[in-house]
Amino acid sequence: MLSPRSGDVTEGRLRAGDPMGVYVHFPFCSVRCPYCDFAVDTRGEIPHDEYADAVAVEIAARAAWFDGGGPLVSIYFGGGTPGLWRPDSLGRVLEAARETFGRVAASALEITVEVNPGEVDTARLAALRDCGVNRLSIGVQALEDRLLVTLGRNHTAAAALACLPAARAAGFDDVSVDLMFGVPGQSLDDWRRDVDAVLSLAPEHVSAYALTVERGTAFGALDRAGGLRRPDDDLVVQMFEAGRTALEAAGLAQYEVSSYARAGHRARHNRLYWSLTPYLGVGASASSFRPLDDGTAWRFANPRATDVYLRAARAGGGSPAVRQIERRRAADLENEALWLGLRTIDGVGRVAHRARHGVDPLAGREAAASRATAAGWLTVDEERLRLTSAGVLYADEVAAWFWS
Ligand code: SF4
């Protein structure tokens, strides 16, 4: 019997042949945004070196868990705000990951750092570029100052607009911008203006996502008290569609529910998550995925609080005791593959799905597929199951039908 919350995550042999990624969580932020439920630490003094030392040692300590894996293809620095990390400290961690996983040339890797406008200048961005970072993800979110205030962001629209030219000046030719719709007080016109303004900067990639209100956040409390006036669902759908139309007209093709890219600029790191390939997550709260050759997998995460992580890393010789351990059965992974695949524009390839999971994605789901097809949300042919342009909005509903 497999226990979902315990076990030895080092057990079993890694599925061979997959590429892999490393996710590095940097928990520090200048302020906590009221909608954010990530592991965030807003202390005044960031322990740049202590944190880099802990993460570098953790990478070395955990490498054996991913023995037999394929080449490293991506290193992603997320947070928190890794743009606040002193570039020499971040660079040390980047080197540790490359060193540990086969010294892949930095140019052969996608190496992404999330940054916030107003917190990085051209000199800092150039220093990141010099370390080998070749992709930036800029947390613009909105381009109306009053909406940025609502979102608790500590930057202005002007700073957001200046960030992408600064990235270009620093030598970045692969830049993603995060934008948010469904924000309290946001009109359809506000959203259209934001999208147009971002497009005028010609990013290679845009992540456009609807604000979600999480229970444990300040927005969650405000919402429960009736104090959060959000655009209604119809308006949010209109925003999604208006954003998609404008982004696609500008050459950024939708390739996942929230993701748009110019040709050749789809995020490789996200692809690892969507295709159930292995990744090692290091740093406070970071989660990892270790698929095994028997079709099962381990998911596990580090302690969430920074000090607990640092103490645990010291006590564990660089390998803090993991928590939230889940052993995913083969059937769980097959369901996940379907759900994740349907969220992508390429959909679920039937041959690849059968090869990995041993069953056709339609098997036992014919009625659900007919229902989704009749609704105009899904197309099915011999090669793949794919959501239609209208169906992309209802990816979760379709997946729920498949599972029920
Ligand atoms: S900057 Fe990002 S990670 Fe930090 S609190 Fe705001 S949303 Fe969360």
pLDDT band at 3 (very low <50, low <70, confident <90, very high): very low
> What is the structure's pLDDT at 2?
39
Query: Residues 104, 246: one domain?
Result: yes
Q: What's the pLDDT score for residue 6? A: 65
* Residue 325 domain flag: no
What's the pLDDT at 39? 86
> CA-to-CA distance for 325 and 287, rounded, in angstroms?
10
Residues 234 and 357 in one domain: no
Residue 286: inside a domain? no
What local confidence, expressed as pLDDT, does residue 89 receive? Answer: 98
Average pLDDT estimate for 354-376: 95
pLDDT of residue 50: 95
| 152 Cα nearest atom in ligand 1 | 6
225 and 349 belong to one structural domain: no
337 and 266 share a domain? no
The answer to whether 22 and 72 are in contact (CB under 8 A) is yes
Interaxial angle between packed helices 188-199 and 233-249, expressed in degrees from 0 to 180 and rounded to the nearest 10: 20
**Residue at 190 is within a domain:** yes
Evaluate if residue 33 carries a pLDDT over 90.
Answer: yes
User: Is the shortest distance between the CB of 32 and ligand 1 below 6 Å?
Assistant: yes
Instruction: Give tens-digit pLDDT for 199-228.
Output: 999 999 999 999 999 999 999 999 999 999
Q: Are residues 256 and 361 in the same domain?
A: no
Q: Answer whether residue 362 is part of any domain.
A: yes
Nearest to 259 by CA among 191, 323, 179, 314: 179
Flag whether 305 is in a domain.
Answer: no
Question: Looking at ligand 1, which residue's alpha carbon is closest to its atom 5?
Answer: 32
**Domains in the chain, number:** 2
Nearest CA to ligand 1 atom 6: 33
> Closest ligand 1 atom, CA of 116?
1
**Strand order across the 378-380 sheet:** 348-349, 384-387, 378-380
Residue 278 falls inside a structural domain: no
Choosing from 29, 42, 219 the residue with most ligand 1 atoms within 8 A of its CB, the one to mutate for a pocket test is: 29
From the alpha carbon of 79, which atom of ligand 1 is closest? Answer: 3
**Count of alpha carbons within 13 Å of 226, Cβ hemisphere only?**
0
Q: According to the model, what pLDDT value does residue 314 have?
A: 85
* Ligand 1 atom 2, closest CA: 80
Mark which of 224, 244, 273 sits at the end of a domain. 273
Tell whether 246 and 145 lie within a shared domain: yes
Look up the CATH number of the domain holding residue 93.
3.20.20.70
Are 375 and 235 in a shared domain? Answer: no
> Ligand 1 mean position to 374 CA, how many Å?
41
Q: Are residues 45 and 166 in the same domain?
A: yes
Structure tokens at 247: 């982004």
Q: What φ, ψ does residue 293 adopt, rounded to 5°?
A: -75, -5
Same domain, 54 and 184: yes
Q: Look at residue 81 and tell me if it is in a domain.
A: yes
Rounded CA-CA distance 11/7 in Å is: 8
Tell me whether residue 291 is in a domain: no
Q: For 60, how many CA atoms within 13 A lie in the half-sphere containing its CB? A: 14
Check whether residue 75 and residue 192 sit in a common domain. yes
- CATH code of 371's domain: 1.10.10.920
Inter-CA distances, 21 with 71, 76, 313, Å: 9, 8, 21
d(CA 31, ligand 1 centre) in Å: 7
Partners of 207 in the β-ladder: 178, 259
Q: Which long-range contacts (CB under 8 A, 24 or more apart) does 95-102 make?
A: 96/55, 96/56, 96/59, 96/60, 97/22, 97/24, 97/59, 97/72, 98/72, 98/132, 100/59, 100/60, 100/63, 101/20, 101/22, 101/63, 101/66, 101/69, 101/71, 101/72, 102/71, 102/72
Q: Which domain holds residue 384?
A: 331-403
What is the residue-averaged pLDDT of the chain?
94
Note whether 341 and 353 are within 8 A (CB).
yes
* Residue range 283-333, pLDDT digits in tens: 999 999 999 999 999 999 999 999 999 998 888 888 888 888 999 999 999
Which of 273, 300, 317 represents a domain boundary (last residue)?
273
Q: Is 40 in the pocket of ligand 1 (CB under 6 A)?
A: yes
pLDDT band of residue 403 (cuts 50, 70, 90) is: confident
Output the pLDDT for position 5.
57
If one residue of 31, 32, 35, 285 were mutated to test the ligand 1 pocket, choosing by the most ligand atoms within 8 A of its CB, it would be 32
Task: Tell which of 252, 273, 294 closes a domain.
Answer: 273
Whether 338 and 260 map to the same domain: the answer is: no
> What pLDDT sits at residue 4?
45
pLDDT the model gives residue 106:
74
Of all protein residues, the one whose alpha carbon is nearest to atom 8 of ligand 1 is: 36
Judge if 105 and 254 occupy the same domain. Answer: yes
Average the pLDDT over 128-155 and give the result: 97
209 pocket-lining for ligand 1 (C-beta < 6 Å):
no
Q: Are 69 and 296 in contact (CB under 8 A)?
A: no
